[in-house]
Amino acid sequence: MIKKTVFAALILLSMSSCVSKKIYNDLENKYTDLKKENNNLADEIEDLRKTKTEFEANNASLQSELDKLKSERDKLQTDCAATTNNLKALKESYAALEKNSGEALSTNMSKNRELLAQLDAKEKALAAEQNRLNKLRDELASSSQRLSELESMIANKDAAMKKLKETLSKALNAFEGKGLTVEQKNGKVYVSMENKLLFQTGSWAVGAEGRKAVVEVGKVLGQNPDITVLIEGHTDNDKILGTLGGGIENNWDLSTKRATAIVNILAENPSLVKKNLTAAGRGEFAPLMSNDTPEGKAKNRRIEIILTPKLDEISKMLNDF
């Protein structure tokens, strides 16, 4: 609708001799901006669809694990019922042996001793079955409780990461469209910054605009001490020839120095837990796009800040099942 309106306005203005070329150019520029914004929105919609697909796949995996645990619980319930029936049969056998033992005692001591031995064996078997029944009941109760706790923990982690992504998107709203994106996938939140926002060619010194973006990320992380933070530096596949400022040897070296520069800015925030930070250089070996075009190379030159919730409790609980 916006496109049609602007286009109509352009036609009318072009037909009017009373409209200045400056107004025509302004409208034409607005049309171009709106077209660009429309393309950006289309890209964001596609990213959200991909994120939804990955989340559904992760949710299906968790659902499969949940179904497995429920199946184990049902098996325990079946075993418990069978054991109860065995216990009942043993008690009836015990009562019969007791009666027979009393009647035979006066006439056949040998038979009586045999019956007593059988009775003792039945009592031991009965006690063993009772212990097994009690153990199965305890395991069933424990498994049900841990299953509920696991479901609650997974839901809480998902909600926390969704909230973190929303908080970051809001804090970094001013930088979106400048080479910065925020997305949630595979249970993690990814903040990606292209080098055009952060660095000059061959440099690892962060520019003023890029520093502002990193500081905003640090503010959010300072409020989330249970998040581990991996900062990855990435380059294109252009070889480094000669020496750059400070003597860069190769793309590994450059990507590592750039990741470390981002860590140093984040660490300036006193509220951020420093032990949660890790810097890594990936060089040219994890590209997003082909390096055959300038556009692809520009996308590959980036910093990725990967935020991961601590899953120690969930992992321990899964190992206990």
Phi-psi category of residue 27: left, alpha or beta, with phi > 0 → left and psi -120 to 50 → alpha: alpha
Q: Are the C-beta atoms of 153 and 65 separated by less than 8 Å?
A: no
pLDDT at site 244: 55
Question: Is the model's pLDDT at 314 over the cut of 60?
Answer: no
Angle made by CA atoms 298, 218, 42, in degrees to the nearest 5: 45
Structure token pair of residue 161: 């990461």
Answer whether residue 82 shows pLDDT above 90.
no
DSSP classification of residue 226: T
User: With contact defined as beta carbons under 8 Å apart, do 159 and 170 qualify?
Assistant: no
Tell me, what amino acid is at 4? K
Q: What is the pTM of this model?
A: 0.54
Least confidently predicted of 240-249, 288-297, 301-310: 240-249
Q: How many CA atoms lie within 13 A of 260 on its CB side?
A: 9
Buried b (16+ CB within 10 A) or exposed e, 92-115: eebeebeeebeeeeeeeeeebeeb
Better pLDDT: 291 or 7? 291
Residue 298 to residues 71, 177, 271, Cα–Cα distance (Å):
50, 14, 33
pLDDT in tens, 191-243: 999 999 999 988 899 999 999 999 999 999 999 999 999 999 999 999 887 65
d(CA 175, CA 172): 5
Whether the pLDDT of residue 138 is over 70: the answer is yes
Q: Which residues pair with 283 in a beta bridge?
A: 234
Higher-confidence residue of 183 and 103: namely 183
